[in-house]
Chains A and B, each alone.
Chain A
Amino acid sequence: MTDHPAAPAAGKAPAGGPAEGALLSVRGVDVGYRTGRRTRVTAVRDVSFDLYPGQSMALVGESGCGKTTLGLGLLRLLPRTGVVSSGEILFRRKDGRLVDVRTLAREDLRRFRWNEAAMVFQGAMNAFNPVLRIEDHFLDTFRAHEGGRRRPRKEILEQSADLLTTVRLDPARVLGSFPHELSGGMRQRALIALALALKPQLLILDEPTTALDILTQRSIVERLAELRDELRFAMVFITHDLGLAAELADRVGTMYAGRMIETGTTRDIFYRARHPYTSALINSVPPVAGDLTVPQSLPGGPPSLTALPPGCSFAPRCAHAVDACSHTRPTLDVLRTRTEGLSHAAACLRTHELLEGATRD
């Protein structure tokens, strides 16, 4: 883990201060990975967004677009070779102080994680330590991240049992079990309970329902929505399942080749997508309801991060690309201004030309 705090105010100047009342203000964040002695790739480039308390934001895109890297970067959980190389991640803590996650020192960072922001990792199978019982995971978490005096085991276990009950698990059965004794859905729910242990203000979920059965998926989705209503935490969830985004998110950010290329409310994205990549993603999902609709395939894959095209990264695959697209990089322009970070913005040179009839209010 990269536990070394960055020097404050180093490098390029931040693009504007934090937004008023925002829980999380991400400003011009780049995340890079070292790939050799002198080589590095930038997996996330210049991402900025504001997340307000209680909001739920989905990050969508194909594999390799930087979604998980961004999620890990927000909590400084990147592997050893990864580093948030520039930008600011401003977070409003429970006590009202505004901190830059990049500059938190070791002990502060430990208090920040789980107390303020927690992560539910991809693949519930691998997120637990296979040789520890579920109760040990709870004990470890409370003891490592909770400040103040050391509480007795019994008290912590009682609280853990309550947490498990909130995700509809039977504590008597689950607490004493090893991870392999639980089904995938139970593990995922236990993981969510664990993430909520210290009442974080922000929950980052990486592919929370991937690899789960459809009925299990449904119960997790419903429980998450209920918990969010109850506990009022904000969510950032990373998914390639657009159905999940439509269901669980207030707002969606589409990522492509490390950049945020479109952001807006869920209705903006699904009914009035203005970036051809977002539209292509949505059109490639066959719906279950209604008559047969033929989904459109999106050929090719995202470009290599080491050899990005000079202009718009999506231009080589884009059906609407013109000459300008291959040498001018579009900026994320606001199309419709709203408060609380819900503005609709897209990074496409032809946004205004491509206003086709496929919109609906």
Chain B
Amino acid sequence: MIDRTAPAPRPDRAATAAEGPDGGGPSAEAAPEAAALREAAPPVLSLKGVHQVFGTPRGDVPAVAGVDLEVRPGQVLCLVGESGCGKTTSARMAAGLAAPTAGSVLFRGRDVAAMDKHERSVFRRAVQYIHQDPYASLNPVRTVYSTVSAGLRRHKMVKDRHEARRAVTELLERVDLTPAEDYLDKYPHQMSGGQRQRVAVARALAMNPEVIIADESTSMLDVSIRVSLLNTLGKLRDELGVSFLFITHDLAVAKYFAWDGEIAVMYLGKVVEHGPTPQVVNDPRHPYTRALVSAVCEPDPDLARTKERVRLRSADIPDLTDLPPGCDFHPRCPLYAQGACDTLRPPLVPSHDRLLACHVVTGE
């Protein structure tokens, strides 16, 4: 690899990686000292009260309305929620692909909007984005070598073609495309979806990123391939200390990949519940999170028949141009109580060992 700027892997991470049978799966125990470390390390990337409003003929659409998120070194922050809740828009702002209408995106404490050319180039290299659809995100007329080495050549990280090929070979091996020589000169159409997505990961990795933003990167893949790609990403996290902003609508994937990290649940452009993964998934408190967790189809017929389901009052998501007063979730919320719910917007406050935005639950 070429000049490693990413921080060295933390010792506790390296230990768990060595223990795992495939070196990929996250460890099941969340040590308390790890939690302390998590608090101590300054965030690599943070969103501070960001808003994104899209102007449309029907009115302004507040796709993201005041979100605070922090991605810490070597940690995973997972954003979950339904389509249209602002996950991807938040990610695009975090990657600097869209400028927030209000609020700021900070990279190592520096506002991305105020960066000069050099700083911006460093930021661009350090934060990489993996798109959802590997069929659309790779240029069909470029070979794997050409795609993966484009950034290396652009940023002058390799001297000549020979060195570039060697660097690309190393990258492909890192994402388990072996033997790498077989893939170097292939075109995207000669590969399966899982292999293409690995090429997209290798391309992101070529820049020695500190943060990888993965936007639904596994949702297009078959179940059998999904797990092995998640394990590859987990290996990057554990061995190279890459941080992840991981976006998914699949709670099972979120749980598996972000077990040691945090989950933020978004609804209509706001975070409604944010906390350590085991708490959020196994003991959800916000009624929306509870509904999401209970709606999952479990691959277990007995459990599927006996599982308690949260009944929503309405199946329809309110229109973003015409949001209800008070809490955005109140027209669907099973815990809705007259009073604060339909008049006051609940703030995101610490409660039940996490951050919650719900009058009823935080008032208990």
Contact = CB atoms under 8 A, between A and B. Distances in A.
A243 interface: yes
B174 interface: no
Contacts of B35: none
Interface stretch (B60-68, B157-165, B199-207, B250-258): B250-258
A286 B256 contact: yes
Contacts of A243: 296-299, 304
A333 B28 CA distance: 40
Interface string A240-252: 1111111100000
Interface string A186-223: 00000000000000000000000000011111110100
A63 interface: yes
A289 B295 CA distance: 11
B52 interface: no
Contacts of B292: 214-215
B222 interface: yes
A63 B135 CA distance: 15
A129 interface: no
A217 B297 contact: yes
Task: Name the residue among A219, A270, A297 with the largest chain B CB count within 10 angstroms.
Answer: A297
A266 B301 contact: yes
Given A62-B222, A63-B222, A301-B194, A286 B227 contact: yes
B251 A214 contact: yes
Interface in A291-312: 291-292, 294-299, 301
B127 to A, nearest CB: 27
A295 B259 CA distance: 13
A291 to B, nearest CB: 7
B250 to A, nearest CB: 8
A5 interface: no
Interface string B261-288: 0000000000000000010011000000
A297 B296 CA distance: 21
B223 A215 contact: no
Nearest to A360: B302
Given A240-B222, A270-B300, A286 B255 contact: yes
A318 interface: no
Given A213-B82, A215-B291, A288-B251, A240 B223 contact: yes
Interface residues of A, number: 44
Contacts of B83: 184, 213
Contact of A285 (B259, B293, B299): B299
A345 interface: no
A91 B152 CA distance: 61
B81 to A, nearest CB: 9
Contact of A270 (B231, B253, B297, B299): B299
B134 to A, nearest CB: 13
B281 A288 contact: yes
Interface of B is mostly: helix
Given A242-B223, A247-B297, A281-B223, A288 B255 contact: yes
Interface string B223-256: 1111110010000000000000000011111011
B224 A298 contact: yes
Nearest to A250: B301
Nearest to A239: B297
A214 B82 CA distance: 7
Given A246-B299, A246-B301, A270-B301, A288 B293 contact: yes
B65 to A, nearest CB: 19
B300 A281 contact: no
A349 B143 CA distance: 42
A73 interface: no
B312 interface: yes
A232 interface: no
A168 interface: yes
A338 B346 CA distance: 56
Contacts of B301: 246-247, 266-267, 270-271
Contacts of A287: 252, 298-300
Interface string B192-229: 10100000000000000000000000000011111110
Contacts of B295: 214-215, 217-218
Contacts of B249: 213-214
A284 B253 contact: no
Contact of B298 (A63, A266, A289): A289
B142 interface: no
A284 B26 contact: no
A37 B309 CA distance: 54
B224 A281 contact: yes
A292 B251 CA distance: 12
A295 B256 contact: yes
A184 B316 CA distance: 11
A347 interface: no
A288 B296 contact: yes
B1 interface: no
Given A292-B28, A294-B25, A214 B228 contact: no
Contacts of B259: 292
Given A286-B253, A292-B256, A62 B298 contact: no
B108 to A, nearest CB: 31
Given A247-B297, A287-B299, A292 B291 contact: no
21 contacts: A213-B82, A214-B250, A215-B292, A218-B295, A218-B309, A243-B304, A246-B301, A247-B298, A284-B223, A284-B224, A285-B223, A285-B252, A285-B299, A287-B252, A288-B252, A288-B298, A289-B300, A292-B256, A296-B227, A298-B224, A298-B227
Interface of B: 22, 25-26, 28, 82-83, 192, 194, 222-228, 231, 249-253, 255-256, 259, 278, 281-282, 291-293, 295-304, 307, 309, 312, 315
Given A184-B83, A296-B227, 19 more contacts: A213-B249, A214-B296, A215-B295, A215-B312, A247-B298, A266-B301, A281-B223, A281-B224, A285-B223, A285-B299, A286-B256, A287-B299, A288-B255, A288-B298, A289-B298, A289-B307, A292-B28, A295-B256, A297-B22
- Would you list the 5 A-B pairs with minimal beta carbon distance, nearest first? A243-B297, A297-B228, A298-B224, A218-B295, A213-B82
